[in-house]
Amino acid sequence: MHVPIKSDNMLRFLKLFLLTGIFVPVYGQEQLQGRIVDAQTREALSGVSIKAKTCACRSDDQGVFSLPVMPDSIYISHVGYSTQRLSVDREGNMIVYLDPLTTRLNEVIVSAGRHRQFRTDAPIAISTISTQTLRETKATSLEQVLNKVSGVYMVDLGNEQHTMAIRQPIGYRSLFLYLEDGLPIRTTGDFNHNALIEINMAALKTVEVIRGPASSLYGSEAVGGAVNFITASPTILPTAKVQAEMSNWGYKRTDFSVSGTKGKLGVLLGGYYADQRNGYLDHSDFRKLALTLKTQYQFSDRTTWTNSVSVVDYKTDQTGGVDSANFFSKNYKSFHTFSYRLVKTLRVRSTVAHQWNETNTTNFTAFYRHNEIGQNPFYAIKTTSNPLKARGEINSDAFQSYGVLAQHKKQFAWKSASLIAGMSADYSPATYFAEFIDVDRDAAGYFTGFTRTDSALTDYRVGLVNTAVYAQAEMSPVAKLKVTAALRYDRMDFNFDNHLPPSAFTGSPDERNFFHAWTPKLGLTYDFGRDRGVYANYSVGFAPPNISELYRGVKVPSLRPATYNNYEAGGWFAFAGNKGYIDASVYRMDGRNEIVSVRLADGSSENRNAGRTRHSGVEWNLRYAPIPNVLFRTGGTWAQHDFLQYEDKGTHYDGNRMNGAPATITNTEITWKPAFLKGIRTGLEWQHVGRYYMDPANTEEYGGYELFNARVGYSTGGFECWVNCRNVGGVMYATTAEKSAFGKSYRPGPDRTFNFGVAYTFTAKK
């Protein structure tokens, strides 16, 4: 009876021994773990492919990957980055830095559809300014990088002041939308052409530029284009950077950033302080402090909580253009000695992104914005019958915003379909106050001082409410063809409260106004493979009047919303061997009731609806590396901007070219990083702005200009130094040229300028 029991025990022991013999070696087998990091931003890269001989995996949102074996080598690849084959050390943990490719088209973008997608899936004209371009250009103002984008002319008005021209003439209207991480930096309805003063350049990672209407996703003002400034995220490893630079014209600037991730929390703090004294123009000093704090908390692999706070404190002297005699004699002494602009901004946002499953993702953002612009503007100074007197004003324009933005994306298995739907709302009360000043003028025509009075010119409050809903659907009805359809509804409600008796000077009576619009888009892309394809789209842009256009200095609000119908087509072609690519687009945009600024005889401006306009052109962009370490890039536009129907004071300008509209704008650059001088980079850039008319009557023309810039830099380890020269030839040119009943006015561009800088970046090993 006992023998069977012993046999059973022995059998169980034998089974246990055999199982242990099988599993112990597997359990003890080594694993390979590591992290994939962008070599420039030090941020984690997700979705990277890691392959060994017997297995493969992809990195997660934190850049972490794990292979169940310890191979001798691995093969790492990711779209837009150089491929690497690495030998594996036996420690089992590794950090892999991937370098972005400068000649690859199929980059990942987020602005075209408010979500991550390949550039070749988006049926629009869009360009990206990469981290490498931002870091190697060492721009002291944003136009130095934005003007590298084909079809873009960001006009330098000095000290980071600017205006924009994207598929539009040079102007100051609300036809461009500026975003930070997909959220407008100012409330819709209170546009300022100098809005990019409020951007912290030291916190940027990339910039994406959409050319043409983007109203179907982003609403009004996104007519000529939308510029999305994407801020850096916390680095995986502790990183700190400090840099300092100065110019031969009294410009000084210091940048800093500290960043890192501990456990689930990542933190980034970055900013800069710039100061200008005794520049090439008289009365052109300025200072700016910009700071950004950003945190990311990873609740899980599906939920991320991101918070950011940005602060800007800016003040500049203001100087206007000069007349013909002074411009061509290079006499840039300012007629204004006390005008200034003061900007204070605060932006706070909190975003929760949650991936419910593989096909559903939700983002919810709450935000607050506070903005104040105070100024004694040069353009408000107007002459009187007394040659020794003039009149002007000191004003303050401020708003606050309380808003939310919610978006959900659903992916379907059928035909690779997806649907994005969202809503946004903000309440943005705005105020404007202006007081009269009595200005003194000397015999030579210089405005020497002023006396404040107790006379209020403008004093109002506007309760502004913006609401919108939007949806965008994508699908591939047949292989290689993707169809995109989008629709957005916007409504803007104005509650105007005039604190002064209404008049043509103080503004209209108390009123309630609203504007609304449906803005559709339909587009398609066809991918021939190997990064070659074509696209076409039809889109509508919508631009209602802004607060100041609608109510200030008018007896009765009379401006109507402007609408634009845009038709465009384009394509892209990548060269073999990752040597580069070319993309091009052709467009026609018809505007109705476009708001234009008319310069009056006393130097002031008045806004009017222009009837009908037409904007058409061709844009191109080429990047090519003929040999290793040499990159050739050129981009530009040929465009024609016409008045189809426009009358001003009985004069018809039908068929005339719009003023301030160069026919050609190009930017070309060649960079060389010699292999025999490791760490050296050199670059030569050519900016061309063609001829354009200075007035709607087409009686005067400005000849445009040619500008050359040169850059040399050296880096080794964490150390970097550079010398940039802007306007190498020291040419005399104007960034804007206008003619009115007041005369001709030229805004002088910077003279030859050298910038010298040094920087050091510390990155922890682990």
- Measured in Å, how far apart are the chain's first and last C-alpha atoms? 65
Please indicate, yes or no, if residue 517 is contained in any of the structural domains: yes
173 domain-assigned: no
State the 10-residue block means of pLDDT for the chain, 766 residues long: 46 46 46 83 84 85 83 82 80 77 72 79 89 94 96 94 94 90 92 94 94 89 92 93 96 96 94 94 93 95 94 94 85 87 97 94 97 93 89 94 96 92 96 94 89 91 96 94 95 94 83 92 92 93 84 70 93 88 95 71 60 94 92 96 85 91 96 92 97 94 96 94 96 92 87 96 83
pLDDT on residue 7: 46
462 close to 496: Cβ distance less than 8 angstroms: yes
Query: What is the domain count for the chain?
Result: 2
**Cα-flanking dihedrals φ and ψ of residue 613, to 5°?**
-135, 165
Q: Per the domain annotation, does 199 fall within a domain?
A: no
Q: How many CB atoms lie within 10 A of CB 27?
A: 8
CA dihedral 38, 41, 42, 43 (to 10 degrees): -80
Is residue 276 within 8 A of residue 301, CB to CB? The reply is no
What residues make up the domain containing 79? 31-98
Q: In the prediction, which pLDDT does 6 show?
A: 46
φ and ψ at 465, to 5 degrees?
Answer: -125, 125
The angle at the Cα of 127, spanning 170 to 660, to the nearest 5 degrees, equals: 10
Q: Output DSSP code: residue 92.
A: S
**Element of type H or E holding 11:** helix 2-28
Say if 14 falls within a structural domain.
no
SS3 2: helix
Residue 1 DSSP SS3: coil
Q: Is residue 133 domain-resident?
A: no
Among residues 98, 129, 156, which one ends one of the domains? 98
Residues 235 and 92 in one domain: no
Provide the sign of the torsion angle of the four alpha carbons 200, 201, 204, 207, taken in this order.
Answer: positive
Does residue 576 form part of some domain?
yes
**Among residues 77, 98, 119, which one ends one of the domains?**
98
Which residues contact residue 31 at a Cβ distance below 8 angstroms, ignoring those fewer than 6 apart?
Answer: 66, 67, 68, 69, 70, 92
d(CA 410, CA 421): 9
| Residue 152 counted as domain residue | no
φ, ψ dihedrals at 161, nearest 5°:
-75, 150
How much is the pLDDT for 604?
Answer: 52
**Nearest by Cα to 662 from 687, 682, 690, 637:** 690
What DSSP string runs through 165-205? Answer: EESS-SB-SS-EEEEETTEESS-TT---TTGGGG--GGGEE
- 226, 232, 35, 268: which is closest to 135 by C-alpha? 232
Residue 641 has φ and ψ, to the nearest 5°, of: -120, 115
CATH code at 60?
2.60.40.1120
φ/ψ of 430, rounded to 5, equals -130, 150
Strands across the sheet with 73-77, in order?
Answer: 56-58, 49-51, 73-77, 84-87
Q: Which of 490, 614, 569 is nearest to 215 (CA)?
A: 490
Alpha-carbon gap, residue 288 to 285, rounded angstroms: 11
- Regarding whether 230 and 88 lie in a shared domain, the answer is no
- CATH number, domain of 249, equals 2.40.170.20
Tokens of 526: 């066809």
Q: Is 479 exposed, middle or buried (0-12, 13-18, 19+ CB in 10 A)?
A: exposed
Domain boundary, last residue among 98, 124, 149: 98
pTM of the model: 0.90
Question: Is residue 307 in a domain?
Answer: yes
Q: 613 and 750: one domain?
A: yes
For residue 8, the surrounding DSSP H or E stretch is helix 2-28
